[in-house]
Amino acid sequence: MVNGIVLPIKKVFALVDAKVSVEIKDEKRSLQGRLIAVDEYLNIHMDETIEFVNNQRGRSLGTVVIRGNNILTIAPLI
């Protein structure tokens, strides 16, 4: 049965080079961009990043690195 379990870290690794939305622990703030890299602590490196505050587009941030313990959710953009 253990072989059928897919760990969340593997799902995130599968999103590398895809557009993702990352919700962070900061007053309804999220970031959208292309996921470049992720490590075993879920620290992520994103490019072409745009900040959204209260679902409204904010600043263009470019390349960012987000520490894993500041992330609430990571979701692919459709």
**11-68 per-position pLDDT tens digit:** 899 999 999 999 999 878 999 999 999 999 999 999 999 999 998 999 999 999 999 9
CA–CA dist 17, 46 (Å, integer): 9
Q: Is the pLDDT of residue 6 over 80?
A: no
CA–CA dist 56, 35 (Å, integer): 21
Q: What ranges do the domains of the chain cover?
A: 2-76
The residue written with tokens 């992520």 in the block is: 44
CA–CA dist 45, 62 (Å, integer): 11
- CATH code for the structural domain at 2-76: 2.30.30.100
CA–CA dist 54, 59 (Å, integer): 13
- Residue 78: the pLDDT is 82
